[in-house]
Amino acid sequence: MGVAPSIGVIGAGILGLTAALRFVQAGARVTVIEREDQVGGLVTSFQIGGSHLERFYHHLFRSDRDIQRLIAEVGLADDLIWARPDTSSLYRGRIHSLDSALDVLRFAPLPPAERLRLGACLAYLKLEPNSRRFEGQTAAAWIKRWMGPEVYRVVWGPLLRAKFGDYAEQVAMPWFWSRVHLRSQSLGYVRGGFYRLYQRLGEVLEERGANVVLGTEVHAIRSVGERVSVETSSGDYAFDRLLATTPTRVFMRLAHGLPEQYCHRYDWGDTYGAHMVVLGLKRKLLDGVYWLNIHDADYPFMAVVEHTNYLSPAEYGGLHIVYLGNYLPMSHELFRRPDEEVLGRFVAALRGINPLFHEDWIVESHVFKAPFAQPIVTVEYPTHIPPHETPLPGVYLANMFQVYPEDRGQNYSVRMANRVAAQILAASSGEPSDWKFGGRAQ
Ligand SMILES: Cc1cc2nc3c(=O)[nH]c(=O)nc-3n(C[C@H](O)[C@H](O)[C@H](O)COP(=O)(O)OP(=O)(O)OC[C@H]3O[C@@H](n4cnc5c(N)ncnc54)[C@H](O)[C@@H]3O)c2cc1C
C-alpha cells in the first residue's frame, strides 16, 4: 500500500485550520506552518479580566452558515450565542440609533423624504438576491443616484471614507450590496471567546495526527520536480501539495518561479492594515450602544465597539471593554507612533462621545496592529483575484483577499477552505498511486 500524500498548509488562521481539518479527515499527512506563537490569525486573543478576548472585535451574522456548521462540527454549537445589540451613529456630536426601519424613519440628520429614500433602497438591497446586476458600478455612484447625494453625504460617504480612505469613491457596488444584503441585526459570539473555537480546531488537528508548527515563518516556496519545497525560519520541509493562506501579496514574495504575466495581473491593488485600541474601563462608556459608527471627521477612530454592551462585564471581572478601531494604509503614521501617544489622542476624543468620561476610568489599555487586514474592493478588484491553482505545480493559494463580493469574514474563509480542500483532494485522487485521497475514512 502507498504512503498517504503529505500536504503543507501555510497559516493557522481560520482558513488554514479548516482546510487542514478537511485534509486530515481525508487521511492525508498534514503540517500547518504558522509564523505566530498561537493559532487564530486575525482572530487571535489576549487575556483581559481573566477571560480571552479577540484583539480585534469579532462577531458573526445569521447568514454566516459555513462557520456555524464548523462550530457545531467541533462540538461548540451550544456555546454559540446570539443577541441583538444596538448599532448607532455619531453625527455632529449626537448619537442616533440606526438599527431598524423605524430608526431610519426617525433619523433626524436627514430630511423626511431622504429617510424614506434611504429606507426604500435598503429594503431593495435586502431583497435583491443577485449581486451581479451591480457589477461594474461603484457604491458611491449607485448610492448618490438611488439614495440621493444628501444620504451619501450624511450616512454612507463618511462610513466609506472611514473604512477605505482615499478609495472610498472607487469601492465596488457588489461589496456594498453584500454588506446590506447579508448582515443580520442579530449577532453571534462564542461563549468564552472565539479563542475556544481556535483552540478546539488545534486540538482536533493534533488528535488526528496533524503537525501544527507555531512560531515558524515561511521564507520561500519552490516547486521541485513532483514535490513542493518550503524554506522556513526553523528548517526546510517538502510536501506533495502546498496550500498557502497568506495574503496574495505575501505569497508573491515567497513563491519562486512565478511567470511575469501572473505577477503582473495578481500582484495588484492596495490593502489596509487594522489598528485597534482596547480599553478595560471601570465604568460604561456608551449607554446601551454596542457598535457606534463615527460619521464626524474629527475623530481619530472610525468606530467605538463596547463589547460589554453585548456580553456582561461580569465575563471580564467587571471591566467594561471598549474597542476603538481603524483601517488605515499600512504606511500610516499611526502604526509607528508610540502607544502612549496614540492612547493620549484617542482618550482625549472619548470626551466628545461621553462628556463624563475620565482617564481614571481606564484600568488597562492595549494597542494591536495587523497588516493586510482589509482588502480595498474597487470595481476592478474581481479581475485581479487569482485562481486557487497557481502556476507552480502542486501549489495552491486561498486567502481572504479572494473573497468577493462579500466583505471578508471568518465565514467566507471557512467556505473557501472547504472548497479549495475539495479541489486539492479531487486533483490528487487522479494520481497514479495506490493511495487515494478520501480512501481512508477516520
Ligand atoms: C478589525 C477587524 C474586524 C473583523 N471583524 C470580523 C467580524 O466581526 N466577523 C468576522 O467573521 N470576521 C471579521 N474580521 C475578518 C476576519 O478576521 C478574517 O476574515 C479572518 O480571520 C481571515 O482568516 P484567514 O485564515 O483567511 O486569514 P488570517 O487570519 O490572516 O490568517 C493567515 C495566517 O497566515 C500567517 N502567515 C502569514 N505569512 C506567513 C508566513 N510567511 N509564514 C507563516 N505564516 C504566515 C499569519 O500569521 C496568519 O495567522 C475582522 C477583521 C479585522 C481586521
pLDDT in tens, the chain (442 residues): 467 889 999 999 999 999 999 999 999 999 999 999 999 999 999 999 999 999 999 999 999 999 999 999 999 999 999 999 999 999 999 999 988 999 999 999 999 999 999 999 999 999 999 999 999 999 999 999 999 999 999 999 999 999 999 999 999 999 999 999 999 999 999 999 999 999 999 999 999 999 999 999 999 999 999 999 999 999 999 999 999 999 999 999 999 999 999 999 999 999 999 999 999 999 999 999 999 999 999 999 999 999 999 999 999 999 999 999 999 999 999 999 999 999 999 999 999 999 999 999 999 999 999 999 999 999 999 999 999 999 999 999 999 999 999 999 999 999 999 999 999 999 987 654 333 443 332 2
Q: How far is the centre of ligand 1, averaged over its atoms, from the C-alpha of 286 (Å)?
A: 28
Q: Where do we find the cell 449607554?
A: 287
303 — phi, psi (to 5°)? -150, 145
So what's the pLDDT on residue 2?
62
Best probe residue, ligand 1, of 15, 58, 276, 323 (max atoms within 8 Å of C-beta): 58
- How far apart CA 151 and CA 163 sit, in angstroms, is 17
Cβ(403) – ligand 1 distance below 6 Å? no
- How far apart CA 216 and CA 220 sit, in angstroms, is 12
- How far apart CA 97 and CA 338 sit, in angstroms, is 34
For residue 5, with 0-12 CB atoms within 10 Å meaning exposed, 13-18 middle and 19 or more buried, which class applies? buried
- Atom from ligand 1 closest to the CA of residue 325: 1
Q: Pick from 305, 51, 83: which is nearest to 194 by CA?
A: 51
Contact 49, 228 (CB under 8 A): no
Cβ(42) – ligand 1 distance below 6 Å? yes
Cβ(59) – ligand 1 distance below 6 Å? yes
Cβ(15) – ligand 1 distance below 6 Å? yes
Specify which residues 10 forms β-bridges with.
33, 244
In order of their start, the domains of the chain are 6-58+194-269+379-429 (3.50.50.60), 100-182 (no CATH), 271-375 (3.90.660.20)
- Name 196's Cβ contacts closer than 8 Å, sequence gap at least 6: 52, 76, 79, 190
DSSP 171: B
So what's the pLDDT on residue 99?
87
So what's the pLDDT on residue 3?
74
Cβ(247) – ligand 1 distance below 6 Å? no
So what's the pLDDT on residue 440?
33
Cβ(10) – ligand 1 distance below 6 Å? yes
- How far apart CA 84 and CA 360 sit, in angstroms, is 30
Q: How far is the centre of ligand 1, averaged over its atoms, from the C-alpha of 271 (Å)?
A: 13
Cβ(420) – ligand 1 distance below 6 Å? no
Q: Where do we find the cell 471580564?
A: 316
Separation in Å, CA 162 to CA 32, 219, 338: 35, 34, 22
So what's the pLDDT on residue 435?
36
- How far apart CA 47 and CA 57 sit, in angstroms, is 14
Cβ(44) – ligand 1 distance below 6 Å? no
- Using CA atoms of 284, 286, 289, 290 in order, give the dihedral in degrees to the nearest 10: -60
DSSP 184: -
Q: Whole-prediction pTM value? A: 0.95
